[in-house]
Each structure stands twice: as C-alpha cells, then as structure tokens.
C-alpha cells in the first residue's frame, strides 16, 4: 500500500509541477489575476471558490445515495471518498482513477460493489452534461451563428432523440443484461457485482439525476463567474450557452492530465474568440477553474489517501 501512496504522491507532484510551475503562460496568469483583483471583480472569484465545496458535497450525496441500498456509509466518509477519488483521478486520463480512489473508503468485498455505483453516478452526470450541452448548443447556434434552418431542426430532433434514448436506458439500468462481460476476467468481476443495479429503483435514479443537474448548474456558474472576474464581457446568454458547449465538447476529450488543461484552454479560445480578443483571460479562466475545482480538492484528497489506513483503524475502533 505504501508503494501505491508514494506513486500517487509522485504523480500528483509531477502533474502540478508540469501544469503550474512549468506553465508557459505563468506570467499571463499572474498579470490577469492581478488585474482581476484590483477592482471589485474579486467578488466573482470568491463566489467561484465558495461553490467548489458545495459542488463536491452534492457529488458525495449522490454517490452515498447509490451506496446506501447495500451498505451504510456516513456522510463524512462519503465526502472523503469523493476527495480521494479526485486525487487519483487528477493523474489519470478522463479522470478514470476516481473509481479506484473511491474504493479506498470501502472495505472488503463491498469494494467491488461500489464500482457499479460509481459508474451509475458517472452516467447520470454525463447525461446532465449532454442535456445541458444540447440546450446550450441550440441557443448558441441560434443566437450567434447563421445555421441553415433544415440543419438546425434536424440537429435539434436528433439531439432530442439521443437524450430520450439515454434517459430511457438510465431509468431501466436495473434491467440491463451484462453477461457479455464474462468474456473478460475483469468483466466477470464487474458482472458479479452487477446485481447491485437491481437495487436502484426509479426514485433513487431520479434523485441521482436531479443532483447531477444541480452539479452541472453549479460548475457552469463557476465558469461564468471566473470569466467575469477576469473582465471578459459577455451577456448571460452568451456566457452560459458558450460554457455548455465547451463542457459538451471537452467531455469527449479523454486526454492525459498533462495535456487536458491545454486542450480545454484551446477549445475555450475557439468559442470565446467570437466575443473577445482577450485570449490570455480565456486561458487563465480555464486554468483557474481547473485549479479551483480539481487541484485544491485533489490536495485534500491526497492527505486522505495517505492517511487511509489510519482512518480505517479509527473506524474499526469505533465499531468495536
């Protein structure tokens, strides 16, 4: 276990060094931050930062909702699991390491059961991203692009059909046949715990999807707030619809941690260049949101991972 902790510590340190210390835009970041802090715009930054713990607290409630049907877990332990997952996810493509990080707070055979729970939580969040991105893309294209009417209507109908199909699959997830997973060793392990899905009735899934929508609204608001903090002047409609499009596109970019921030920044430049020439501010907004929503909680999660044996010992002592 200590080797894994050392590896995680090294990887997190490398990612932070590569993305922050060695960042080629470090001087631009400093300049933009100083400009934003001079006036009253710091209020926007404060709002963005304050929304971060609320965002992850909602995620912990969502994940705990999916764990409770088969295991009692406290709100505190659920929150610790989320932060541990962020830490591991920070150094893996598409943050897939969050699955492993959350397992650290679950003991024994129940660990593998939490994999389907985390998967359902992730699916719900992706559905929210797609729904929000769909609505945002419609508004963005209608207001700021001259799109052929037929193409616009066809795209709208196609997107709506995809959303309906995804929601139908989500609310019938307990009926899925996963026997095809038995072809692979890891698939057998996952399928063995797939019975957990049968415990999720419509009320649980509805709560999980609602919490996912709330999370989506929060991190869209965070992005808009940090744009305003950096003095990028956008209407509310342009800001929220543009953010929705960016989140929709970037969710399909499973890049390594060392490239993800750069790729997201370039994507944001493409979208916001329609409204502003402040490329530095756009890049800083993307970088700042990454630091606030992932780096800060990842450092907290790292402390939790490094002390996971101590935490479990304390839990066992309390139980006895």
For 257-262, the CB contacts below 8 A with 24+ separation are: 257/15, 257/19, 257/90, 257/91, 257/92, 257/93, 258/15, 258/18, 258/19, 260/93, 261/19, 261/286, 261/287, 261/290
Q: Which two tokens stand for residue 208?
A: 């999980």
141 close to 152: Cβ distance less than 8 angstroms: yes
Name residues whose C-beta falls within 8 Å of residue 54's C-beta, 6 or more positions apart in sequence: 218
* DSSP, residue by residue, 146-190: ---HHHHHHHHHHHHHHHHHHHHHHHTGGG---GGGGGSHHHHHH
Phi, psi (rounded to 5 degrees) for 266: -65, -40
Tens of pLDDT, residue by residue, the chain (320 residues) = 556 656 666 766 656 656 555 555 666 667 777 777 777 788 999 999 999 999 999 999 999 999 999 888 899 999 999 999 888 888 776 677 787 788 877 876 677 778 888 889 999 999 999 999 999 999 998 988 888 889 899 999 999 999 999 999 999 987 776 666 667 766 666 666 677 888 899 999 999 999 999 999 999 999 999 999 988 888 999 999 999 998 888 776 655 554 556 566 777 888 888 888 777 788 888 888 888 998 899 889 888 888 866 555 455 544 44
């Amino acid at each position: 276990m200590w080797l894994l902790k050392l590896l995680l510590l090294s990887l997190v340190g490398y990612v932070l060094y590569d993305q922050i210390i060695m960042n080629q835009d470090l001087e631009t970041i400093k300049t933009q931050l100083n400009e934003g802090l001079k006036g009253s715009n710091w209020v926007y930054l404060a709002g963005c930062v304050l929304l971060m713990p609320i965002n992850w607290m909602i995620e912990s409630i969502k994940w705990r909702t999916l764990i409770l049907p088969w295991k009692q877990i406290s709100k505190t332990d659920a929150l610790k699991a989320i932060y541990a997952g962020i830490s591991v996810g920070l150094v893996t493509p598409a943050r897939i390491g969050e699955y492993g990080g959350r397992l650290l707070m679950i003991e024994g055979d129940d660990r593998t059961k939490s994999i389907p729970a985390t998967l359902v939580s992730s699916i719900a969040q992706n559905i929210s991203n797609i729904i929000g991105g769909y609505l945002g893309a419609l508004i963005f294209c209608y207001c700021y692009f001259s799109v052929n009417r037929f193409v616009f209507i066809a795209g709208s109908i196609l997107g709506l059909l995809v959303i309906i199909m995804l929601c139908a699959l989500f609310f019938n997830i307990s009926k899925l046949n996963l026997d095809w997973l038995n072809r692979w060793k890891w698939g057998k392990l996952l399928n063995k715990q797939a019975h957990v899905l049968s415990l999720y009735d419509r009320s649980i899934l509805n709560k999980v999807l609602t919490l996912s929508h709330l999370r989506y609204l929060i991190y869209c608001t965070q992005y808009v707030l940090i744009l305003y903090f950096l003095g990028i002047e956008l209407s509310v409609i342009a800001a929220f619809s543009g953010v929705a499009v960016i989140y929709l596109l970037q969710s399909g970019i499973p890049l390594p941690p060392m490239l993800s921030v750069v790729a997201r920044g370039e994507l944001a430049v493409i979208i916001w260049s329609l409204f502003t020439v402040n490329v530095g501010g756009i890049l800083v907004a993307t970088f700042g949101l990454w630091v606030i929503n992932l780096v800060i909680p990842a450092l907290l999660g790292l402390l939790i991972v490094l002390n996971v044996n101590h935490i479990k010992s304390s839990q066992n002592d309390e139980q006895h």
